[in-house]
Amino acid sequence: MSLLSGIKSPSDLKSLSNDQMLELAGEIRSYLVETITATGGHLGPNLGVVELTLAIHRVFDSPKDRIIFDTGHQSYVHKLVTGRTDLSSIRTKNGIAGYPQRSESEHDVVESSHASSSLSWADGIAKAYKLTGQTDRAVVAVIGDGALTGGMAWEALNNITDDNDRNLVIVVNDNGRSYAPTIGGLARHLNNVRTDEVYKKAYRFSRKFFSAFGPLGRLAYSVLRGAGKGLLGTFTPKGMFPNLDLKYIGPIDGHDLEAMEQALTQAKSYGAPVIVHAITQKGRGFQLAEDNIDDQFHAVGQIDPKTGKSLESSSAPSWTSVFADEIVSIADENEKVIGLTAAMLIPVGLHKLAAKYPTRVFDVGIAEQHAVASSAGLAFGGLHPVVAVYATFMNRAFDQVLMDVALHNAGVTFVLDRAGVTGPDGASHHGMWDLALLQIVPGIEIAAPRDAIRLREELAEAVAIEDKPTVIRFPKGSAPTEIPQIRRLKDGVDVLHEAASKDVLLVAVGAMAPVALKVAELLSAHGIGATVIDPRWVVPVRQTVIDLARDHRIVISIEDGVRVGGIGTRIRQDLRANQIDTPLNELGLPDEFLEHASRNEILDRIGLSAQSITQEIVAQVLGAKIPSARPLENEVKNTNSKL
């Protein structure tokens, strides 16, 4: 029986010998490679935190001691040693989540996968334990994979140093990377600490000391080093943040289990905030990941573990790849166009622009607020910034969009990748709030392309606008090559389908166009005539949308954003302002945190499949609810006379 199969809780680790722990670390790496290459997920980051996570669970007592992972995608090993030993269902419907999730385990604390919040959480929990007399409980924040580049982490550090009477341990997982190599002054500073000759001397000395005297030597060395006295004092680096009043232990080899355990034991004994600086290697133990300098297999789909080649096939290019090619073409013609992103150069498709025009792309780290405010300055300086981020991460920079960009009439284009329902990454990654949030920004214009052609077209239109913010949003996955229009109206609205009778106007927002077209087809079988339009630019509402609504019996808006305050609501308000009383039904995502599952599974569950939408429309138009258990085409006969 493998050692891993015998681990049901963190307490099981404490009885293992050092040799068994090394064997367990090897088993975990093999299991992660075998499982995550088959399911998809965050492989590289978790291969890098195996020993670090095991050491934390050996030294601390979870869940009495609280462990917070930042970012949350580094928690796979934590899941394995806290009873979730089968990751074969990870990120699938009803399976294990790809991030910490309280409903799964009492060992999970923070569910949000958004980076740089762990120190604030840890600060709050540690203060609560102090105020409630729970002085025997520790809080451990594991922050890494670029999360220290986020501004929230620095705000928290400033406050943590103001109260030194708490059991708070900050473990910095320093792998020199976020998705790709971490950038900026902090990265350079950490690299200097990591490569400082003082550290190298101390590390060489420590290895010789340990080798000669064994565990007793390790203990003696740590005591001397902690005191900062004698010979070892000359070998001690100044620390990670020498200007902050924080105790510092490190740098430690994050793949040396014994060294990590000793450092964490020392940190635990301080009874005050302390930093443990662990040097790790992303993708550790998987040669393909170690050799891949671009992203070290940060997040993978289903791949062949021997070759690293994708096992997923699609004849259509992804939305991201279409954008990646088009932004280069636009930049070729317009020297003012520059790109910004927040530690996601490759995932959002700015890598090609960076390769061709390296001085015209800025990766600011995990700092969306700074990216947006900086883009306002770049626009003021005469450039046209294109800020490309995941739609869900745009939430973090809403104030900057409102008060820095829009208030100052800055010509900035926001490209929101992974908009709507993204699928397996779960609640914090669904880009479902962008339409409701951003449409309240005065003057903003928002486009939602339905296919690759419209993405290229609308991106060019957005970049041409110099006096207000513009937004292009699209989902995860493959982009339809072309969904042709019958005709384009005078203000750019595309008519995709028309029937002789004007019973229903279907307003399709972006990627929901194929669903709307299928609904029109199903309605036709019931004698219900539908017109399908793609507004292209959904905010502000175009006049022809209002005019068409006046001419139809009912209007149905279909969007993959939250329906509360969504595009449907905006259309309803404009209809009322124009004194048009055509009934309108807004279909969109419910105001709830959606689970992890495939996009189609989630859309089916919440009633945004073509069949569910058709049933609702038939019930509204004909006043006869259609049982969902039977095919629609066989339900209602001879309905023309009822219309």
> Which entry of 29, 282, 360, 450 is annotated as an active-site residue?
282
Type of residue numbered 504:
V
Query: Which segments of 94-196 are extended strands (E)?
Result: 139-144, 168-174
The rounded Cα 549 to chain-centroid distance in angstroms is 37
Q: Which residues does 226 contact at the CB level (< 8 Å), separation at least 6?
A: 249, 266
User: Do 457 and 482 contact (CB within 8 A), yes or no?
Assistant: no
SS3 of residue 546 by DSSP: helix
Residue 601 CB contacts under 8 Å (≥ 6 apart), including other chains: 93
Sheet holding 413-417, edge to edge: 361-363, 337-341, 384-390, 413-417, 470-473, 445-447, 537-539
Amino acid residing at 187? A
Does 368 participate in catalysis according to the annotation? yes
Residue 367's CB is within 10 A of a number of other CB atoms, namely 25
Contacts of 596 (CB under 8 A, 6+ apart): 91, 92, 93, 95, 97, 98, 423, 424, 425, 426, 427
Count Cβ atoms below 10 Å from residue 490 Cβ, excluding itself. Answer: 8
Map residue 283 onto helix, strand or coil: coil
| 490 is an active site residue | no
Q: What are the tokens at 514?
A: 């194929």
Nearest to 137 by CA among 244, 63, 208: 63
Half-sphere exposure of 423 (CA within 13 A, CB side): 14
- Per annotation, catalytic residue among 368, 445, 559, 586: 368
Both structure tokens of 414: 């926001």
473 tagged catalytic: no
Distance from C-alpha of 343 to C-alpha of 147, rounded to nearest angstrom: 10
CB 530 within 8 A of CB 523: yes
Distance of CA 620 to the CA centre of its chain: 38
Give the number of C-alpha atoms closer than 13 A to the C-alpha of residue 467, restricted to the C-beta side: 0
Q: Which of the following is catalytic: 79, 225, 352, 396?
A: 396
Listed residue (567, 556, 566) closest to 531, CA to CA: 556
Helix axes 185-195, 197-227, angle to 10 degrees: 80
d(CA 378, CA 277): 36
CA distance 140 to 126: 9
Q: List the end-to-end C-alpha distance of the chain, in Å, as a whole number.
A: 69
Structure tokens at 160: 């943590």
What ranges in 366-451 are assigned the alpha helix state H?
A: 368-380, 398-400, 434-438
Location of structure tokens 């949000």: 112
Q: Could you list the active site residues? A: 282, 368, 396
